Each structure stands twice: as C-alpha cells, then as structure tokens.
Amino acid sequence: MTMNNSALPGQERYVAPLEETPLQDVDAVDTNAPATSMWADAWRTLRKNPLFIVSALVIVFIAFVALFPQVFTKVDPNYCSLDFSRNNPSPGHIFGYNLQGCDIYARVIYGTRTSLTVGIATTLIVVVVGGIIGALAGFFGGWVDSLLSRIIDIFYAIPLLLGAIVVLQMFRTSNSIWKIVLVMALFGWVSIARIARSAVLEAKNLEFNTASTALGSTPMRNLFRHIIPNAIAPVLVVGTTSLASYIVLEATLSFLGLGMPSGNVSWGGDISTAQTMLRTQPMILFYPSLALAITALAFIMLGDAVRDALDPKSRTE
C-alpha cells in the first residue's frame, strides 16, 4: 500500500498499487459468450417462474382436453333423456345428470373445446387488427394518428358486453360460433390498439430506429423490421390476459341466451340452465362454473408471468 501525502494533515489515505488492482479483468468483455436478446432473457426468466410452470401445465392439459375429448369420455354430450333428469352420480357418470337428463361430465369436457376456440380465435383477431391499427397510428402520427385515435376512442366508449349484446340481438337469425368471435373482436380490438400505439410511439424514438434511417432504411421497413418487434411485448401480455376475458364473455353471452347455437356445448349455457336448481342441487351448477374459473385463472396467471418476464424493470429488481 502507498500513502497519499497530498491530503491535509489527518486525512491521509492509502492507495493500492496499480498492479494489485487488475480492473482490466473486471471490465473485459467476454467475446465468446452467446448472443442474448429480450426474448432469450424472457424465456430464461419464465423457465424459473413457478407461476408460469403451473399455468402452462394447466393450459396444456386444457388444450389436450379440448383437442381429444373422446379420451376422457365416450358419452355424447348432446344425448339427453328425461328419464335421467337430475340423477345422482353413478359409475361412468361421475358428475350426475342435469335437468334435461344430459351427462354433466361429458358436457363439461366438450365445453372446453367451445371456450378455447372462441377465446383463441377472438384473441388472434384482436391482436392482429388492434396491433396493426395502433402501430400505424403511433408510427405515422399527424392526421393519421388523429383519425385512427378518434376511431379508437369511439369504440372504446362502447362497453364490450353491452355492444356485443346489442349486435347479437340484431343478428339473432344467424347461428354460428364465428358470429360470437367476430362480435367480440369488433369491440375488443381497441385496448390492444391503444397499447400498440403507446409502445410504437416509444420505440420509434429509440436509437436503433435513428441508426436504421441513417443507413438508408425506408419508414415501412423500419416499422415492420425494427419497431414492431421491439414494441410487441406489451401487446402479447395484454392479449394473453384478454384471452381469459373473452372466454368469460362467451360464457356470459351464452348464459344470457345470446351465445352458442343450440348444437354447441357451452359452459355458460349449462350454468344458465342450472341456475334454477341452485338451492336444491347446487353441484349441477358448480361443475361448469369450476371448469370456467380454472380455465380463466390459468390464462390470467400465464399473462402475469409473461408480463413479469418481458418487463425489464421487474427482471432487474
């Protein structure tokens, strides 16, 4: 150690010799380290998150049930007989029968396909339409942003459930699962558009966009090659969480008698049918309600895990 004599009396301090402080080793860059990215960092974070692991396993199981319901039951969910009305559980019919004499377990299993189809299809349409409109508004600005923002505000002012009820009442003659999907997407894209607009407004002012423009890249190339990939993270987070909302919304519309056609098994329709027996046989209502709650909760948990992984602030805390 060496003494620094330039300080005032009583304030001497010791400084280590330079050869004993190899700062060059601390500041050196490991050129052999693999390249990293936001998505790679997010995946490493997700793999260690119990919330993601549990929710992903539940969603995989739910998807398997939706794709292969015949593995879990051989009973036709639409076969009903009043001879079995409100019968108690029995071998092969573990949940018993509802008021119409339909097997509750079979209807819960086959209702999974309806809910996932509506939820995933609506989410895909909402993310694509809302993401493109929001990205165009945020990127071009000016009158384009003003026009698209006013359209977004108009649709945003209409409650999703109320708007869906009004439109479905207008087109009651058409019975199709895609009618439900399109109606929910019609009023659901605005939240994604607002998120996408904000993300693009932030991303287009970053250094990589300026550098790409200086190298001769066109505005549209910057938008689709650089800005959207760097602004898509919050859109994916909101889309994952919204999927649970669309599943619940479909059940709500079916509960109100405006949802699935009569030939489609729906948790919401079964809940509506069972509400008259809430006091006498509450388990008839409990089983489809439990399936709906578990499915929605799984996607909400997945959305929370994805949000934590894609948020740089949460990763550094």
CA contacts within 13 A on the Cβ side of 33? 7
Residues whose CB is less than 8 angstroms from the CB of residue 20 and which lie 6 or more positions away in sequence, other chains included:
none
CA–CA distance, 304 with 112 (Å, rounded to integer):
22
If one compares 1 and 289, the residue with the highest pLDDT of the two is 289
CB atoms within 10 A of CB 229: 13
The 3-state secondary structure of 220-244, one letter per residue:
HHHHHHHHHHHHCHHHHHHHHHHHH
Dmax of the chain from CA atoms? 104
Percent helix / strand / coil, the chain, rounded to 5: 70, 5, 25
Mean pLDDT of 228-253: 88
**154 has which bridge partners?**
none
- Grade residue 26 by pLDDT with cuts at 50, 70 and 90: low
Q: Express each pLDDT in 295-310 by its tens digit.
A: 999 999 998 888 888 8
Q: Express each pLDDT in 170-198 by its tens digit.
A: 877 666 788 889 999 999 999 999 999 99
- Per-residue b or e along 242-277, where b marks 16 or more CB atoms closer than 10 Å to that residue's CB: bbbbbbbbbbbbbbeebbbeeebbbbbbbbbbbeee
Q: Express each pLDDT in 110-130 by its tens digit.
A: 999 988 999 999 999 999 999
Q: Express each pLDDT in 62-119 by its tens digit.
A: 999 999 999 998 888 888 888 888 888 888 888 888 888 889 999 999 999 988 999 9
CA–CA distance, 192 with 287 (Å, rounded to integer):
32
Q: What percent of the chain has pLDDT over 70?
A: 85
Look at residue 34 in the predicted model and tell me its pLDDT.
58
Report helix angle 160-170 to 233-255, nearest 10.
50
Record the tokens describing residue 314, joined without a space.
């949460």
Record the tokens describing residue 179, joined without a space.
């009618």
First and final C-alpha spacing in the chain: 37
pTM: 0.81
